[in-house]
Homo-oligomer: A and B are copies of this chain.
Amino acid sequence: MIDKKIYSKKEVTIFNGVINLIKKGDNLYTIKVSDIAKSADIGKGTIYDYFGSKEETISKALIYYMNSEMESSYNRIMIKESFKEKYYEILLIIKDSYKSNLFIVSSILSSAGLKELYKHLADEGCNTNYFFSSINNIIVHLLETGKKDGIVTVEEDFYYFVMAIRGSVSTFSHYIGKKEYYKDINVEKAMDTSYKILLKSLK
């Protein structure tokens, strides 16, 4: 497939500097190079030894992080046995990613794309395709499990199934992002509703 880039130790240190800032709640667009340096506990100049500009640094850090998150998410899902467990795991992943300010991930799982992020991401070889296809793999896997478990019974094309899953997942993403508007709904209820909607569309 698409080969994964190998990064040097220092590059990863810098990436983590960026990620921690975002986890801390810093706005992607107002991060300063000096902040990254401080966060990574290195000199400002070092960043420029490894990347050409602030934009490149942040872009690559995001790609790197999203890919590694994707990998661990993939593993979390694979470990689970049943269709239902796997689906709920996805919802939990979204919940976790939101808590750590890395909503980017779930934001991509839903509608809003990378387009708003640094143009750099588009230019660079740094494939967001890889990211997209990883999500597809997860969806394919989920569907297969669903068929095995006798949950997916409706006859539809692949696009339908992908959208059924993405749609029901997005209801939970929306809930998580706007909890304050749904004071009387707790997380379990939101998850259950998401799952209920999914089941309907797969029967």
- Contacts A110-B111, A174-B110; is A132 near B167 (CB within 8 Å)? no
A182 in contact (CB, < 8 A): yes
Task: Tell me if A181 and B132 are in contact (CB < 8 A).
Answer: yes
Q: How far is the CA of A151 from the CA of B194 in the complex (A)?
A: 20
B-contacting residues of A (Cβ < 8 Å)?
Answer: 27-30, 103, 106-107, 110-113, 115-116, 129, 132, 154, 156, 159-160, 163-164, 166-168, 170-171, 173-178, 181-182, 185, 189, 193-194, 196-197, 200-201, 203
Name 11 interchain pairs, CB-CB below 8 A, sorted by A.
A28-B29, A110-B112, A110-B174, A111-B174, A129-B181, A159-B185, A163-B175, A163-B193, A163-B197, A170-B171, A200-B200
Give the interface SS of chain A, mostly helix, strand, loop or mixed.
helix
Task: Tell me if B163 and A194 are in contact (CB < 8 A).
Answer: yes
Task: Tell me if A111 and B193 are in contact (CB < 8 A).
Answer: no
Residue numbers in B under 8 Å from A107 (CB-CB): 111-112
**Contact residue among B112, B160, B173, B175 (Cβ-Cβ distance under 8 Å from A197):** B160
Q: How far is the CA of A169 from the CA of B110 in the complex (A)?
A: 11
**Contact residue among B112, B129, B200 (Cβ-Cβ distance under 8 Å from A111):** B112
Task: Tell me if A170 and B111 are in contact (CB < 8 A).
Answer: yes
Q: How far is the CA of A189 from the CA of B160 in the complex (A)?
A: 10
**Contact residue among B159, B168, B181 (Cβ-Cβ distance under 8 Å from A193):** B159
